[in-house]
Amino acid sequence: MDKAKIETIASVLSGKSAAQMKELLVELCRTIPDTYRHVLQWGQTAENGLNAQLALEHWRRAEKIIDEFNAYGGGPEDEEDECCDEIEGLCRLIPELSWDTRQEIMDGMLAQYRYGNSGFEDLLTDTCFELCKEREEWLYLAERLLERGGSWERKLVMSIYRTIGDDSAFLGLREKELHYGSDYFELVRYYEEQGDLEKALSYARKGLSQGDGRVDHLAQYLFNHYERNGDTEALEEIMRICEQTKKERGYVSNRLFEHYRGRGDYENAKKHALKEFEHSANSGLDKKYARIKEHMSEPDWLAVRDGLLGELKKRDMTGYLNICIEEGNKREAYDTIFEKNSDFGGYLLWGIDRDHFADRLKRDFPEEMGEYFARLALRNVESGAGPNRRNYRQAVSYYRKVKEIYVKIQKDEPRWERLLSDLKERYGKRKAFLEEMGALD
């Protein structure tokens, strides 16, 4: 570096206190990434504890923001980003910090974490995990987390026990905290890792029958195991448990249907296909209806068909209309959607996409569907252009369907030309609309 540059730097630094010098250095490290490397190299050779000072300064800045967020339940996005940058800078220094410094930072983070109102809670606990190296340090963090006594803190502590290999402490805490299906499944995975299959299966069965919340992973685990072993009696027991708890009945009955069908057991496959239809969610039932129809013999199918259609109409109207069209009962579909419900517009009937079904029925009811799309198009035109000509573009999409019906289906191109001429005359002053309609010329 030449003499002039050295003199310039010296004049800038002249008269600065130690605190101001530290502030300047921290700011340089924050804004110029390469500065970290040079400072760390200098800190290691000079043995002056600068790493600890820099880390504590990062935490001081982050702590100030987190404290304000705790007070107000959040804060500006730019301050949130600033806090994350400070924590990131701190984490880069962790390998160079003593336990005393890391413990001091950890205590500060846990104090802010206990307020639980900042939105930084995950960042704080994740960073505390990064601050730990030795077993005693992990145990210190576990003890501090348990002081709060919440279920989430206990879950974090259990992960610490797994990290340091303290199986006894993990099991002691885990077995006291068995509420949700995921709690039981954690023990299932643990015992599988230990090679104790019987205990894994035992906790899976307990979780399936006693666990709150989702238990799908437990049902899947049990079914996969017993199916691999060909234990049909155990598979049926899973179904009985699910029927008692009213959970995962659709999933297990579907698996049993496939199990029995694969073995050529028609009667049991039929039984579980009907159970799956009964217990499945009220959407996509038309696919289950079709699968039952495919599997059953004609006499058996005729015996259940009307009942299934009735359930389908009550529980899944979209599925019911799909089946009506697929089975050729298009008059029923038309009457249900349009004849008995004269209001026009996409989703006015039980959440049904009427535009979709109008498009599917246009060849069987061209006059009615042409009128339907024309009225929807006109409604959009009368509403004005809207943002970015949205209404006019929607009108054009409807008029495109009208043109298809008149020209391709009814073979009446003059009718379309008359409609187009009338629109141009009626809305001649709406240049934006006519420009959009140009796509249909």
Domains of the chain: 17-131 (no CATH), 178-263 (1.25.40), 281-352 (no CATH), 362-441 (no CATH)
CA angle 85, 90, 92 (to 5 degrees): 100
Burial of 64 (0-12, 13-18, 19+ CB in 10 A): middle
> Are 401 and 441 in contact, with CB atoms under 8 Å apart?
no
Residues 388/366, Cβ–Cβ less than 8 Å? no
pLDDT of residue 50: 77
Residues 156 and 400: their CA atoms lie apart, in Å, by: 59
Quickly count: other Cβ atoms within 10 Å of residue 90's Cβ.
Answer: 23
Tell me what pLDDT residue 344 has.
Answer: 46
Supply 168's token pair. Answer: 């006894």
Looking at 280-316, list the stretches that DSSP marks H as alpha helix, in order from N- to C-terminal side: 285-295, 298-315
Nearest to 221 by CA among 211, 208, 209: 208
Q: What is the per-residue pLDDT across 143-184, written as a single tens digit (0 to 9) for each?
A: 999 987 788 999 999 999 999 999 999 999 998 889 999 999
Q: Exposed (0-12), middle (13-18) or buried (19+): which is 70, by Cβ within 10 Å?
A: buried
Which tokens belong to 118? 């900042």
Q: pLDDT value at position 45? A: 46
| Sequence-distant (≥ 6) Cβ neighbours of residue 21 within 8 angstroms | 13
Q: Residue 92 is encoded by which pair of tokens?
A: 């880069």
Alpha-carbon span 111 to 115, nearest angstrom: 7
In sequence order, the 6+-apart residues with CB closer than 8 A to the CB of 436 are: 389, 392, 393, 395, 396
Contacts for 209 with CB less than 8 Å, ≥ 6 apart? 241, 244, 245
The reported pLDDT for the residue numbered 132 is 96
User: Percent of the chain, pLDDT > 70?
Assistant: 86
Q: Which parts of the chain have pLDDT scores under 70? A: 1-49, 340-350
Q: What is the pLDDT of residue 338?
A: 84
Check residue 352 and give its pLDDT: 85
Determine the pLDDT at residue 15.
Answer: 64
Tokens of 175: 């077995």
Give the per-residue pLDDT at 8: 55
Determine the pLDDT at residue 21: 63
- Rounded Cα distance between 381 and 387, Å, is 13
Query: What pLDDT is attached to residue 19?
Result: 63
- Note every long-range contact of 254-262, with CB atoms under 8 Å and residues 24 or more positions apart, other chains counting: 255/223, 255/227, 259/227, 259/232, 259/235, 261/295
Neighbouring C-beta atoms of residue 181, cutoff 10 Å? 24
